[in-house]
Amino acid sequence: MNLSGKKILVTGADGFIGSHLVEELVRRGFDVRAFVLYNSFNSWGWLDHSEPAIKKNLDIFAGDLRDAYGVKQAMKGCDVVLHLAALIAIPYSYHSPATYVETNVMGSLNIVQAARELGVAKVVHTSTSEVYGTAVRVPIDEDHPLQGQSPYSATKIGADQLVLSFYRSFGTPVAVIRPFNTYGPRQSARAIIPTVITQILSGKKQIKLGSLSPTRDLNYIDDTVRAFIAMAESDTVVGQVVNVGSGFEISIGDVANLIVEELAADVEIVTDGQRLRPEKSEVERLLADNSKAKRLLGWVPEYGGLDGFRRGIQKTIEWFSDPENTRGYKSDIYNI
């Protein structure tokens, strides 16, 4: 699909990945409507920090994914929907699982129901590698069993299957992108890389983390954004699930050590009990098979392997090192 002349709606546009995606789409000259969460402060999240030229060319819609009427209003006149909005914090899903059902499952239902009624040309729905749970085989391809090891991952499994059911039942043109762990500028300090960086930069001598042994397939934000745009443009992904991962595996402990090395910090890394997941809920291993993305999208990670990961970490550290960027971060408080 040629996106030129098409109206593109991005939900979750105020968040980490969504804001980077919106900015890149605008830079490429596309017509973008940014769906942000309504709030009384009229905040557009990270889009408030975008360059004036970006904001000038944005069509902002403030609403709530859980409101079917509002979702349909946001989607009117749009040709393509890139659906990123979701609740994603795993620890908070233990605390308030019902909100995850309402937002992730019912919100996604509102998207595909409106797409069906409005005749939207394509919906790209965002999944997560967490739906696979601890790998039973690696690398993880799209046919790997799905395992809900947290309320968050269970709602994402539900949302994925609901969206795909609309393709199978009604021919709604949906595709599912399944990013493995994305990192980079603007990521929440709940995530491993920002929490290590912000704790070190704030002068902590003891860095508090959860379990250090699990492995992850970590992807720099630029690679993830390119994959979203490739999914929107591809004519071969409708009805498909596509993994987006670097194909490089590294443990949480080794991630922390690499950041410590890059910052030349003299710190101690310790396990903090409140940051541990329940034993059966921890996902111990994630490593992507990205061959389908290469085949269908022509997408390959530019930050793959240890060298690529180190380059991504360096760019992330550079961003977090600017106090202007982290003014709103509270690195001294653990937020579930």
Positions marked active-site:
152
Residue type, 251: S
In this structure, what token pair is assigned to residue 89? 């914090």
Q: Which residue has the tokens 């949480």?
A: 252
Q: How many CB atoms lie within 10 A of CB 315?
A: 17
Residues 228 and 10: beta-carbon distance below 8 Å:
no
What separation, in Å, do the N-terminal and C-terminal C-alpha atoms of the chain show? 40
- On whether the CB atoms of residues 232 and 124 are closer than 8 A, the answer is yes
Q: Are strands 241-244 and 174-179 parallel, antiparallel or unpaired?
A: parallel
- Asked whether the beta carbons of 83 and 125 are under 8 A apart, the reply is yes
User: Alpha helix locations (H) across 65-202?
Assistant: 68-75, 90-95, 97-100, 107-118, 151-170, 192-201
Closest CA to 71 of 21, 9, 28, 122: 9
Nearest-CA neighbor of 269 among 195, 219, 185, 217? 195
Would you give the distance in Å from CA 268 to the centre of its chain? Answer: 29
Q: Is the peptide bond before 173 cis (omega within 30 degrees of 0)?
A: no
